[in-house]
Structure 1
């Protein structure tokens, strides 16, 4: 089903989904009518690296993210999706979401998902149950669209 997500340029007003399992789950349950992907292109993000020394001091610096680190992020997302019972998504894309009506901004969207997550029992964490709960929240937000 990931193949049905349109490829293009981020539309105005759409938010970029986070590069983690929740961002992937949000894109899956929002569906291709509310999500699009854009080829990633060359990444120049800076990441902070910290080296801890045995004597308890540390040194930090920034460097450009590597292709191996990007692939590791994508693999972690795929692992989270697999644990949730969902298929791996294509690598090499940025993912964008059209906000549901009634959601004022990106912060409001993620707050709603956090609320749904906090309602779940926190014993014996079950990624399939978490994905299902988040999915219900996401589809509920989009079902209110005109």
Structure 2
């Protein structure tokens, strides 16, 4: 399914970038054919690093390194594997089509999270979240 995602060079307001974590990747998997990707560009990207020692805290902005990229991708792959989802191809920014019923990507993600927070008892493991996520995303696209 990942390999079938449309390749786009530039997004629009109808495409929202998925969070770069396992949760965002699971939302993308649940969207199925409503997924796109564009080439990843980490050059020039920075991260805020905070070091805490003996009650002292210091923060600095540092370049996002290749080692950082590997850590991010590995953690996403581990989360997906726990849910039984194959790893995403690396080297891409992943986007999801915003349904017509949502005015923005932020609204779409807020609605997903709002609906997921209504499940009681709340799932804990990624494998427990997957069926709930599939149902919720399908409903927001008008397929559920």
TM-score by length of 2: 0.88
Offset, 1:49: 1.1
Offset, 1:122: 4.7
Offset, 1:99: 0.4
For the pair 1:77 / 2:82, whether they are aligned, the reply is no
The match for 1:96 is 95
**Count of paired positions:** 142
8 Å contact 2:16–2:98 — kept in the other structure? yes
Q: List alignment gaps of at least 5 residues for structure 2.
A: none
Instruction: Tell me: CA distance 1:49–1:86, structure 2 relative to 1, closer, same or farther (3 Å).
Output: same
The match for 2:36 is 36
Deviations 1:2-30 (A, max 9, x none): 11112221332211111011211121121
The match for 1:63 is 62
Cα distance in 2 for residues equivalent to 1:107 and 1:16:
10
The match for 1:105 is 104
Root mean square deviation, CA, Å: 1.7
Deviations 1:93-117 (A, max 9, x none): 0011110111111221111111232
Cα distance in 2 for residues equivalent to 1:11 and 1:69:
24
Greater strand percent: which structure? 2
Cα distance in 2 for residues equivalent to 1:26 and 1:77:
12
Q: List alignment gaps of at least 5 residues for structure 1.
A: none
Offset, 1:120: 2.4
Deviations 1:58-82 (A, max 9, x none): 2211011111111111111111111
Offset, 1:123: 6.2
Instruction: Tell me: CA distance 1:41–1:82, structure 2 relative to 1, closer, same or farther (3 Å).
Output: same
Offset, 1:41: 2.8
Deviant stretches of 4+, over 6 Å: none
TM-score by length of 1: 0.87
